[in-house]
């Protein structure tokens, strides 16, 4: 069984720019969106659904710290309020998400329903994950650095690896499914490069719809995917010195927080701040759902 990597990462003094699945996805969707998020680091207004996702992920991480027999729905729901308090303590602005306590209570109930969805998909009493919220980092032979968080890694007694990702939004349709698979292939590639073994299964668990999708990656496919990531990083590096990150309008612009600054909608971006220095490279990494 391979060693978890958190200790190595925590003691590394300087971290250079890396590609995360979310930011790679942003660049594919729209290079300017990538710039706004990864380079300018413009703030975005969190939605109730996004914060609920963060809290439910925290509960599912905490759940596996309990003795196996206690991993039941009622106990998981008891973990919700403390997880929400923790998240709110880290991000006090999240308190502004709710105008009244009844709204917050309703929101917490909707989080309970996601937890019910989780228990409809698997029985955590029968699982002992190898890792949860695993921070992984791997450098491709081309020098591209990949970094991301994996919700859960299960390793069978026979050594087969399963990558698990919890989705708290609705089940995938078109763009959503492509994005989720892109993210999972990213994790599979990083784990393969780190451990020398292609994960046997990528499992996406859609808690709202109580649906799970399983996918078996193969080595040839991950090699092709590696080339895709290298091409994305090369394109980012071409734009990085001058800030030539162009808008690529699509129907997803309706969900973009930065439309008012986008030239495709008669906006003007702020002056380009320049490519971040290595010690600032947390800008390139984010926590993906
Ligand atoms: S509005 Fe659309 S084109 Fe403009 S930055 Fe956002 S996603 Fe890109």
- Could you list the mean pLDDT of each consecutive 10-residue stretch along the chain, which spans 289 residues? 34 66 95 96 92 97 98 98 95 88 94 98 97 95 93 96 92 73 94 95 94 94 96 96 97 95 98 81 43
Q: Look at residue 28 and tell me if it is in a domain.
A: no
Q: Look at residue 187 and tell me if it is in a domain.
A: yes
Looking at ligand 1, which residue's alpha carbon is closest to its atom 2?
A: 253
Looking at ligand 1, which residue's alpha carbon is closest to its atom 7?
A: 253
Q: What is the CATH number of the domain that holds 177?
A: 3.90.320.10
Residue with tokens 């600054």: 261
Whether residues 141 and 118 fall in one domain: no
Q: Look at residue 38 and tell me if it is in a domain.
A: no
Domain encompassing residue 82: 48-126
Tokens read off for 226: 């590696």
Task: Tell me the best of 32, 38, 246 to mutate to test the pocket of ligand 1, counting ligand atoms within 8 Å of each CB and taking the most.
Answer: 32
Strand arrangement, sheet containing 161-167: 131-139, 145-155, 161-167, 201-206, 211-215
3-state percent breakdown (helix, strand, coil) of the chain, nearest 5:
50, 15, 35
Strand partners, 201: 162
pLDDT tens digits, 259-286: 999 999 999 999 999 998 765 444 443 4
- Give me the number of domains the chain comprises: 2
Task: Tell me the best of 245, 262, 269 to mutate to test the pocket of ligand 1, counting ligand atoms within 8 Å of each CB and taking the most.
Answer: 262
The pLDDT value recorded for residue 177 is: 79
Q: How far apart are CA 261 and CA 273, in angstroms?
A: 15
Strand partners, 150: 134
Beta carbons within 8 Å of 148's beta carbon, 6+ residues apart: 20, 21, 135, 136, 183, 186, 187, 190, 285, 288
DSSP class per residue in 201-217: EEEEEETTTTEEEEE--
The beta-strand segments (E) located in the chain are 131-139, 145-155, 161-167, 201-206, 211-215
Q: Look at residue 285 and tell me if it is in a domain.
A: no
Whether residues 138 and 220 fall in one domain: yes
């Amino acid at each position: 069984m391979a060693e978890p990597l958190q200790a190595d990462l925590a003691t590394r003094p300087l971290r250079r720019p890396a590609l995360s699945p979310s930011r790679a996805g942003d660049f594919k969707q729209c290079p300017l969106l990538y710039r706004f998020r990864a380079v300018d680091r413009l703030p975005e207004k969190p939605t109730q659904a996004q914060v609920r996702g963060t809290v439910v992920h925290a509960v599912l991480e905490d759940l596996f710290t309990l003795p196996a027999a206690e991993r039941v729905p009622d106990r998981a729901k008891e973990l919700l309020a403390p997880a929400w308090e923790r998240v709110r303590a880290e991000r006090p602005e999240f308190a502004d998400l709710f105008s009244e306590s009844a709204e917050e209570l309703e929101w917490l109930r909707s989080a309970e329903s996601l937890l019910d969805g989780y228990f409809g998909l698997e029985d955590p009493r029968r699982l002992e994950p190898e890792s949860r919220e695993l921070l992984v980092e791997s450098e491709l032979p081309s020098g591209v650095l990949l970094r991301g968080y994996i919700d859960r890694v299960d390793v069978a007694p026979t050594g087969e690896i399963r990558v698990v990702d919890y989705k708290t939004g609705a089940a995938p349709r078109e763009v959503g499914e492509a994005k989720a698979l892109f993210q999972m292939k990213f994790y599979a590639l990083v784990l393969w490069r780190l451990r020398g073994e292609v994960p046997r299964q990528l499992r996406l668990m859609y808690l709202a719809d109580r649906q799970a999708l399983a996918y078996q990656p193969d080595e040839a496919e991950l090699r092709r995917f590696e080339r895709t990531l290298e091409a994305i990083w090369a394109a980012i590096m071409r734009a990085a010195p001058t800030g030539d990150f162009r808008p690529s309008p699509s129907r997803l612009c309706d969900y973009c927080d930065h439309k008012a600054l986008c030239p495709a909608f008669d906006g003007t971006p702020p002056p380009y701040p320049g490519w971040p220095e290595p010690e600032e490279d947390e800008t390139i990494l984010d926590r993906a759902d």
